[in-house]
């Protein structure tokens, strides 16, 4: 088995390594500072204080006006479900006879699509917006989709497979004029580009710690003051009676510390990741024939770090496995279903055929990567692609 220290890790959009500062901040709350944050004794009060510090750190990162607008969860999947189901059930409870409508996008993460599909089976009207070749939604399409029944627009800030940034600020302007709430899954943007909920005008926003060097299994939902949503979980009065369940103190502390670190280092990391991603993108496009970019050509329309490429006449599954043998970790624009490679729903929406969709590979760069690693990756990918194509022709 290959030494894990020797791998070149280019799958940071899937997850990131925990920052040593984050681990150090968490460690006491997994050992001697183990108190339940709901307890009144000293150990409990220390845990409660640590949680409130983390709440302030997250609020600062995303520009929330009050730390009380941060609700800690198990991650973005729970946050997305709470935002969408919580808002719809609130409206149904408030006006049971009212027809409700939600607008989202066909390229959303399944953590948004599946709750929408679930609610659709129970009477909710849902519009799934289409996208162009680079995953961009049309503001005109959003405006056209709005009706008197629309209560929520849920669109991710940046796509997890191709990096496309949606113009959430402009979408919020459309919603503001009609009294519609806006939720955004910001898993791929928070920690990579500046995100300020007040400036954007968002009502709800989902975050996951492990996407910016925090621990797995913890995240949060930003809920603007006076924004009403019903609880997803019941069984306790935790998180100001908004999310039942004993708080994951160590995880929350880790999320807070990761937020504090990225808040003070974002500009530096942005420049480094952008440089490496563009080096990788241009290196692969220039060195290998018949390779196409799935991300928007304008760098301002995509987050730094994601490089999604179609390698014509190459199976993504084959390329990923071959690269893994060479010590490079990447992922695919396709998902494995029932033992066969099915095109990713995101890539399929870009209008390219199924064969090309199954030739898509996503490289995602992190701040821990180096120029040397990127140069090595370009050399190895070029060689492996040539070998795969040669075998296909013989």
Per-residue pLDDT at 333:
55
Place 1 in a pLDDT band, splitting at 50, 70 and 90: very low
Detail the DSSP E strand segments found in the chain.
Answer: 8-9, 70-73, 101-105, 125-129, 150-154, 181-185, 204-208, 219-223, 291-293, 306-311, 328-329, 331-332, 334-337, 340-343, 360-364
State which fold the 20-262 domain adopts: 3.40.640
Place 334 in a pLDDT band, splitting at 50, 70 and 90: very low
Per-residue pLDDT at 125:
98
User: Is pLDDT at 110 greater than 50 in this prediction?
Assistant: yes
> pLDDT per residue over 120-154, tens digit each?
999 999 999 999 999 999 999 999 999 999 999 99
Euclidean distance between CA atoms 277 and 293, whole angstroms: 13
> pLDDT per residue over 115-127, tens digit each?
999 999 999 999 9
> pLDDT per residue over 290-326, tens digit each?
999 999 999 899 999 999 999 999 999 999 999 999 9
Euclidean distance between CA atoms 314 and 189, whole angstroms: 30
> pLDDT per residue over 231-260, tens digit each?
988 888 788 878 879 899 999 999 999 999
Measuring CA to CA, which residue among 266, 269, 265, 297 is closest to residue 281?
A: 297
Average pLDDT, the chain: 93
Q: Is residue 329 annotated as part of the catalytic site, yes or no?
A: no
Per-residue pLDDT at 239:
85
Residue spans per domain, the chain: 4-16+266-393, 20-262
Per-residue pLDDT at 37:
87
The CATH number that domain 4-16+266-393 falls under is 3.90.1150.10
Euclidean distance between CA atoms 385 and 285, whole angstroms: 12
> pLDDT per residue over 339-354, tens digit each?
345 678 999 999 998 8
Answer yes or no: are the C-beta atoms of 124 and 100 closer than 8 Å: yes
User: Is pLDDT at 5 greater than 70 in this prediction?
Assistant: no
Euclidean distance between CA atoms 327 and 6, whole angstroms: 7
Answer yes or no: are the C-beta atoms of 161 and 11 closer than 8 Å: no
Q: Is the pTM of this model over 0.75?
A: yes
Of 105, 172, 329, 336, catalytic: 336
């Amino acid at each position: 088995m290959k030494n894990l220290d020797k791998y070149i890790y280019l799958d940071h959009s899937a997850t990131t390594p925990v920052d040593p500062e984050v681990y150090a901040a968490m460690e006491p709350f997994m050992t001697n500072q183990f108190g339940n944050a709901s307890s009144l004794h000293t150990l409990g009060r220390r845990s409660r204080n640590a949680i409130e510090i983390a709440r302030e750190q997250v609020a600062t990162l995303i520009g929330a006006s009050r730390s009380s607008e941060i609700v800690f969860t198990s991650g973005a999947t729970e946050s997305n479900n709470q935002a969408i189901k919580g808002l719809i059930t609130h409206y149904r409870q408030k006006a049971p006879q009212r027809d409700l409508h939600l607008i989202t996008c066909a390229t959303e993460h399944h953590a948004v699509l599946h709750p929408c599909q679930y609610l659709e089976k129970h009477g909710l009207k849902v519009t799934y917006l289409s996208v162009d070749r680079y995953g961009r939604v049309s503001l005109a399409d959003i405006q056209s989709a709005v009706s008197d029944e629309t209560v929520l627009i849920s669109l991710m800030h940046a796509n997890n497979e191709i990096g496309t940034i949606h113009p959430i600020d402009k979408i919020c302007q459309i919603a503001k004029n009609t009294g519609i709430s806006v939720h955004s899954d910001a898993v791929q943007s928070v920690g990579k580009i500046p995100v300020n909920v007040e400036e954007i005008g968002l009502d709800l926003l989902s975050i996951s710690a492990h996407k910016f060097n925090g621990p797995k299994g913890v995240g949060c939902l930003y809920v603007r003051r006076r924004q009403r949503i019903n609880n997803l979980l019941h069984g306790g009065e935790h998180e100001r009676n908004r999310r039942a369940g004993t708080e994951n103190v160590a995880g929350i502390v880790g999320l807070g510390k990761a937020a504090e670190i990225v808040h003070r280092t974002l500009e530096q990391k942005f420049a480094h990741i952008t440089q490496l991603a563009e080096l990788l993108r241009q290196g692969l496009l220039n060195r290998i024939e018949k390779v196409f970019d799935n991300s928007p050509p304008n760098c301002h329309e995509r987050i730094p770090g994601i490089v999604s490429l179609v390698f014509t006449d190459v199976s993504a599954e084959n390329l990923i496995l071959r690269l893994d043998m060479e010590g490079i970790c990447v992922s695919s624009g396709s998902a494995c279903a029932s033992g066969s490679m099915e095109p990713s729903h995101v890539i399929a929406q870009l209008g390219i055929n199924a064969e090309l969709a199954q030739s898509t590979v996503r490289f995602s760069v992190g701040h821990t990567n180096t120029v040397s690693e990127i140069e090595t990756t370009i050399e190895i990918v070029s060689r492996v692609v040539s070998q795969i194509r040669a075998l296909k022709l013989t």
